[in-house]
């Protein structure tokens, strides 16, 4: 979203030539923010604009940068909730298109933090740990580079720096220390006396405006571009585990990673035991944080030893996918599978066998203490076993993703288990992941889905061309045909990019618990089906539930199986996974009551083989069943990164969903 967008000439006039009684630059930016309904700023933010923007203007005033070069303030990339302090857009002397991001800070001092990539200072939230400003700026260009098709296709240069215009030169040896902050080599931090250096940095990349016959401006081209994940994202898991490449989506995730790493190092040194609870909704990056932090701890550094860690999840699907993506057929990497475990793996673990255990999808940890999976009825439950086995245990939770009556990993249960195991609990607002990065529809789409499902007030969803593909189908067969097409397109993209794991385009269909699993013991090629829809039309739909372990054996990865595009996955198959396009069948457990104009949830759907959820058991209350059904569709409708296709068995629900689209 473009908020403030002017030429250098106009920006200089508004910063340096205002007369008493006239609106200054902070007033102008505030008005532009309000025009775009961005009203979440206060007096301190206006004061920051009033101080920092004129400081930038003084740098530009003395430069040789063409006065028609574009300036943007508080620019918000489509995929992110964050806003960028300052942007320059144009070309260098050779005509190459470039964008320079400048993170502005009013800090006057900074000290070393115990968190990697952070500094300890008095920032906007008071005294505490804050991301190094050059890392913040570098993260913004990562976001734009990794999700913007125009930047990728046109090879727009993306450059970052920070300007701490109140910071004295004596702090440069700390803030520019590449041993502490390796990124500053490419994204330098400029202090109070570095105006000349900053000017030269800006002139190097942006000296002239970008002009063409049909060009409305470089920033407009970028802002109106299709959102598209870059090839780099496909390798994110591998680079995360190697722990050798800077990549993070936002400051919240960076803070979570830094908190985990520093807490583990601290606890090992002082022989303390702690449990960290990190909250986050679908697509907020819980798995990214887990894998990134695990990668850093396992890889170690020149001064810190490599530590024993493991990624724990009750869901076989993400665990198997990560193993397949990281290991493939390379036997030399087979030992990596030991990094991925299920909650019952720690029955025989000694206390503090692991430096850190990462319980991803922690809300799905079952209460195995009922005597299953080798866990004694009288002994500790699965949560207690995880906490006991690790010096530091990290639980990533979202209570709105509990989807069965057996899901036990609530925040209260984790706290109780930590108390019994004498482990101090660390949690708080600073460890809540709030950004949305799985779905290219961004925060708007997530709010739309939550409104549709009744978590909050329903809001219309304004479709954004070239950004997110959301469709409601009248026939399930038509939806399946589109999923097939998208799967083939994604497969060809992977093949053309040289990826080895290109047998599957990873576009899939999923459904709620409303069909019996009649083919559970059959083979894929055997006749029969589980799901039958629109049988009385000329477009009948027949499909089997995914065969899961039957066809692939231990470690079978549904997303990597090219034939599973013809089958329908369930919540256990897909929770914790991302797919480019997801087709969702909303069954007869959720309908729309046209008289009362509200959703209706139905516990009794006639399903007899749904032993994995317990939703349809007579002993389950309707209140609990309603919550679990809603949570199930919340998960299913937030799997698709590029698009979500929906078919509703209930025609009234289908019409209601269509009515919310604009």
Determine contact, residues 368/404, Cβ cutoff 8 Å: no
The residues pairing with 598 across neighbouring beta strands, listed in sequence order, are 593
- DSSP SS3 for 66: coil
- Sequence-separated (6 or more) residues with CB below 8 Å from residue 331: none
| Minimum mean pLDDT range among 57-66, 212-221, 634-643 | 212-221
- Looking at the fold, whether 520 and 371 belong to one and the same domain comes out as no
- Domain hosting 418: range is 232-433
Sign of CA pseudo-dihedral 210, 216, 217, 220: negative
The predicted pLDDT at position 555 comes to 58
pTM: 0.73
| CA–CA separation, 552 and 601 (whole Å) | 35
How many CA atoms are closer than 13 Å to the CA of 545, on its beta-carbon side? 23
For 420, list phi and psi in degrees, rounded to 5.
Answer: -65, -30
DSSP states of 310-322: EEE-S-HHHHHHH
From 144-153, 310-319, 588-597, the region with the lowest mean pLDDT = 310-319
Please state at what angle helix 195-205 crosses helix 43-61, rounded to 10 degrees.
80
> Are 130 and 89 in a shared domain?
yes
At residue 64 the predicted structure's pLDDT band, cuts being 50, 70 and 90, is very high
Distance CA 50, CA 357 (A): 46
φ, ψ at 301 (rounded to 5°): -140, 180
Strand partners, 104: 163
Average pLDDT over residues 53-63: 94
Q: Where are the beta strands (DSSP E) in 26-96?
A: 70-75, 84-91
Q: Is 274 helix (H, G, I), strand (E, B) or coil?
A: strand
Neighbours of 40 (CB within 10 A): 7
Average pLDDT rounded to a whole number, residues 634-646: 93
Pairing, β 126-131 against β 111-112 = unpaired
Per-residue pLDDT, 237: 47
Residue where a domain terminates, one of 209, 228, 247: 228
Query: How many Å apart are CA 646 and CA 483, to the nearest integer?
Result: 11
**Tally of CB atoms within 10 A around 212:** 8
Clarify whether residues 275 and 186 are in a common domain.
Answer: no
Residues 61 and 87 in one domain: yes
The enclosing domain of 387 has a CATH number of: 3.40.50.300
pLDDT band at 371 (very low <50, low <70, confident <90, very high): very low
Token couple for 593:
């009551």
Total number of domains in the chain? 3
Co-location of 468 and 598 in the same domain: yes
Q: Which two tokens stand for residue 472?
A: 């409601």
Which of 519, 494, 525 is CA-nearest to residue 507?
Answer: 494
pLDDT band at 323 (very low <50, low <70, confident <90, very high): low
Whole-angstrom Cα distance, residue 145 to residue 79?
11
- CA dist 160 and 198 (Å) reads 11
Residue where one domain finishes, among candidates 433, 463, 484: 433
Structure tokens that stand for 90 in this block: 């144009």
Q: From its phi and psi, is residue 381 left (phi > 0), alpha (psi between -120 and 50) or beta?
A: beta
326 with 428, same domain: the answer is yes
User: If DSSP codes are grouped into helix, strand and coil, which group holds residue 57?
Assistant: helix
* Average pLDDT score over the chain: 84
Q: Say yes or no to pLDDT of 58 above 90.
A: yes
Query: CA end-to-end span of the chain, whole Å?
Result: 19
Query: pLDDT of 476-492, one tens digit each?
Result: 999 999 999 999 998 88
Same domain, 538 and 565: yes
What's the average model confidence in pLDDT over 245-274?
84
The 3-state DSSP class for residue 233 equals helix
Whether 501 shows a pLDDT value over 60: the answer reads no
**Mean pLDDT within 549-578:** 75
CA angle 387, 390, 396 (to 5 degrees): 60
Distance CA 106, CA 26 (A): 15
How many CB atoms sit inside 10 A of residue 474's CB? 15
- What's the rounded mean pLDDT across residues 609-632? 77
pLDDT band at 551 (very low <50, low <70, confident <90, very high): very low
Please tell me whether residues 210 and 262 are part of one structural domain.
Answer: no
Most confident of 203-212, 285-294, 479-488: 479-488
Does one domain contain both 163 and 46? Answer: yes
Q: What pLDDT sits at residue 398?
A: 85
Q: How far apart are CA 5 and CA 8, in angstroms?
A: 10
Which two structure tokens, joined as six digits, stand for 565? 């595009």
Whether 482 and 383 map to the same domain: the answer is: no
- The pLDDT value recorded for residue 375 is 66
Q: What is the mean pLDDT of residues 512-531?
A: 87
Q: Work out the average pLDDT over 533-559.
A: 76
Residue 500 is predicted with a pLDDT of 47
Whether the per-residue pLDDT at 233 is higher than 50: the answer is no
pLDDT at position 441: 76
- Residue with token string 């087709």: 583
43 and 173 housed in the same domain: yes
Per-residue pLDDT at 137: 92
Whole-number pLDDT of residue 400: 74
Average pLDDT in the 584-607 region?
91
Residue 539: pLDDT over 50: yes
Indicate the pLDDT class of residue 608, thresholds 50, 70 and 90. confident
Select the more confidently predicted residue: 243 or 493. 493
Per-residue pLDDT at 489: 92
Domain boundary among 402, 433, 464: 433
Same domain membership, residue 264 and residue 201: no
CATH of residue 607: 3.40.50
Percent of the chain scored above 90 by pLDDT? 48
> Where do we find the tokens 């195991």?
421
């Amino acid at each position: 979203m473009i908020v403030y967008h002017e030429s250098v000439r106009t920006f200089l006039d508004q910063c340096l030539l205002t007369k008493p009684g006239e609106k200054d630059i902070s007033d102008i930016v505030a008005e532009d923010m309000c025009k775009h309904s961005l009203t979440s700023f206060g007096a301190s933010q206006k004061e920051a604009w009033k101080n920092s923007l004129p400081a930038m203007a003084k740098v530009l005033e003395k430069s040789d940068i063409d006065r028609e070069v574009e300036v943007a303030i508080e620019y918000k990339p489509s995929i992110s909730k964050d806003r960028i302090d300052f942007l320059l857009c144009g070309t260098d002397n050779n005509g190459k298109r470039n964008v320079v991001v400048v993170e502005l800070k009013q800090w006057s001092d900074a000290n070393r933090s115990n968190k990697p990539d952070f500094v300890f200072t008095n920032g906007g939230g008071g005294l505490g740990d804050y991301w190094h400003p050059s890392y913040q700026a570098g993260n913004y260009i990562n976001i734009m580079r990794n999700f913007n098709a125009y930047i990728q296709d046109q090879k727009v240069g993306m450059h970052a720096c920070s300007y701490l215009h109140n910071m004295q030169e004596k702090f440069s040896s700390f803030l520019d220390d590449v041993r502490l902050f390796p990124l500053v080599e490419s994204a330098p931090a400029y202090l109070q006396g570095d105006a000349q250096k900053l000017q030269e940095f800006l002139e190097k990349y942006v000296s002239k405006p970008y002009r063409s016959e049909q060009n409305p401006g470089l920033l407009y081209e970028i802002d109106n571009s299709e959102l598209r994940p870059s090839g780099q994202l496909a390798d994110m898991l591998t680079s995360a585990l190697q722990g050798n490449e800077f990549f993070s989506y936002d400051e919240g995730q960076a803070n979570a990673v830094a908190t985990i790493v520093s807490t583990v190092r601290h606890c090992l040194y002082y022989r303390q035991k702690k449990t960290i609870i990190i909250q986050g909704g679908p697509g907020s990056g819980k798995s990214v944080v887990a894998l990134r932090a695990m990668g850093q701890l396992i890889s170690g550094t020149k001064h810190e030893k490599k530590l024993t860690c493991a990624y724990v999840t009750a869901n076989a699907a993400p665990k198997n996918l990560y193993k397949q993506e990281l290991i493939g057929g390379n036997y030399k990497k087979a030992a990596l599978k030991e990094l991925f475990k299920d909650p019952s793996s720690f029955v025989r673990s000694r206390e503090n066998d692991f430096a850190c255990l990462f319980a991803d999808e922690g809300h799905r940890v079952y209460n195995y203490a009922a005597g299953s999976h080798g866990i004694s009825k009288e002994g500790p439950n699965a949560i207690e076993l995880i906490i006991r086995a690790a010096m530091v245990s990290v639980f990533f939770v979202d209570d709105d993703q509990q989807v069965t009556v057996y899901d036990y990993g609530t925040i209260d249960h984790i706290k109780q288990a930590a108390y019994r195991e004498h482990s101090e609990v660390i949690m708080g607002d600073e460890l809540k992941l709030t950004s949305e990065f799985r779905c290219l529809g961004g925060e708007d789409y997530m709010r739309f889905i939550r409104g549709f499902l009744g978590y909050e007030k329903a809001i219309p969803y304004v479709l954004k061309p070239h950004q997110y593909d959301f469709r409601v189908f009248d026939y399930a067969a038509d939806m399946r045909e589109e999923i097939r097409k998208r799967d083939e397109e994604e497969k060809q993209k992977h093949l053309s990019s040289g990826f080895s794991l290109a047998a599957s385009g990873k576009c899939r269909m999923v459904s709620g618990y409303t069909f019996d699993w009649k083919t559970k013991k059959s083979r894929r090629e055997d006749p029969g089906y589980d799901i039958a829809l629109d049988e009385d039309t000329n477009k009948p739909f027949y499909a089997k539930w995914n065969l899961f372990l039957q066809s692939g054996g231990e470690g079978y990865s549904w997303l990597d199986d090219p034939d599973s595009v013809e089958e329908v996955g369930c919540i256990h198959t897909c929770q914790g996974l991302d797919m480019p396009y997801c087709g969702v069948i909303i069954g007869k457990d959720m309908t729309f009551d046209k008289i009362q104009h509200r959703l209706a949830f139905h516990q009794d759907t006639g399903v007899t083989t749904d032993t994995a959820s317990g939703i349809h058991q007579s002993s389950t209350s309707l209140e609990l069943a309603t919550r679990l059904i809603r949570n199930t569709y919340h998960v299913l409708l937030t799997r698709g990164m590029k698009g979500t296709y929906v078919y509703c068995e209930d025609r009234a629900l289908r019409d209601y969903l269509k009515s919310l689209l604009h």
